[in-house]
Every structure is written in C-alpha cells, then in structure tokens.
C-alpha cells in the first residue's frame, strides 16, 4: 500500500524556520517526482514545490521562491521541505504528493502536517 506520511509541522514565530519531512513507503520512491502542496485555512490548494527523482531538478511557486528548499534522500525514502523566513501567509496544511515521471498529475497524497506561523 502506498503511504506518504508528513511530519515536522508545528507553531513557529514569524521570521522563523521549520523543516517538514515526508516518509514514503509501499512504492519505489526514486521512480517518482515529488511535490509539496499547501492548503491555507479557509483557502484553496496551492502548489508549492517539486523535485525530480534524483534531486537534479527543483522548482518553486513564486510565493516561496528563495525561502523554501526542497530536497530528498532516496536511501531513506524521504522528502523534505526546509522553510525559512516564515510569515503568517505560510500558515497551512502541507501535503507531499507523488508524480510519476512523464505524467502531470499527483496520484497519491499524504494527509498533511499543519504549520502555524504566529507570535
């Protein structure tokens, strides 16, 4: 069974940093590109970032570019999102999701981890 389990969320002060993790199981992790998507309270889903199977390609939404860094460790079947200079607008549930190479849809998602930026 495919499983994606996010962790690392919590409350952080404005200007602070946080690193999210996503543990993958039930599939060959390095066959897939991985994405982060977030859901701010009362708003809609927002695509955040992607990383290729080997980490060579990364990309970010304009809203997080320069502040967030995505990475992966295929030996640990894990995906990460380093978030710096956090502000209130970054408050959201953060989901990791997988995308098979050559496709353009996210076929499996985690249940999310909540990041709250507040003083």
CB nearer to other proteins: pick between 69 and 108: 108
Distance of alpha carbon 116 from alpha carbon 6, whole angstroms: 15
CB nearer to other proteins: pick between 27 and 47: 47
By CB under 8 A, residue 106 contacts other proteins = yes
By CB under 8 A, residue 50 contacts other proteins = yes
Distance of alpha carbon 9 from alpha carbon 1, whole angstroms: 24
Residues 35, 70, 80, 115: which binds other proteins (CB under 8 A)? 35
Distance of alpha carbon 58 from alpha carbon 49, whole angstroms: 7
- Strands 18-25 and 3-7 turn out to be antiparallel
Residues 37, 70, 92, 117: which binds other proteins (CB under 8 A)? 37
By CB under 8 A, residue 34 contacts other proteins = no
Distance of alpha carbon 76 from alpha carbon 118, whole angstroms: 32
Pick from 83, 87, 79: which is nearest to 6 by CA?
79
| Contact set with other proteins (CB under 8 A) | 4, 35, 37, 39, 44-47, 50, 57, 59, 61-62, 95, 97, 103-112
């Amino acid at each position: 069974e495919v499983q994606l389990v996010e962790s690392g969320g919590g409350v952080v002060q404005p200007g602070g940093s946080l690193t999210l993790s996503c543990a993958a199981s039930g599939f060959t992790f390095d066959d897939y590109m991985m994405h982060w998507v977030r859901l701010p309270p009362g708003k809609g889903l927002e695509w955040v970032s992607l990383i290729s199977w080997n980490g060579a390609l990364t990309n970010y939404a304009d809203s997080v570019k320069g502040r967030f860094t995505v990475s992966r460790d295929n030996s640990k079947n894990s995906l990460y999102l380093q978030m710096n200079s956090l502000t209130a607008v970054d408050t959201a549930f953060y989901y990791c999701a997988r995308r098979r190479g050559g496709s353009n849809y996210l076929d499996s998602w985690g249940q999310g981890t909540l990041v709250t930026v507040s003083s």
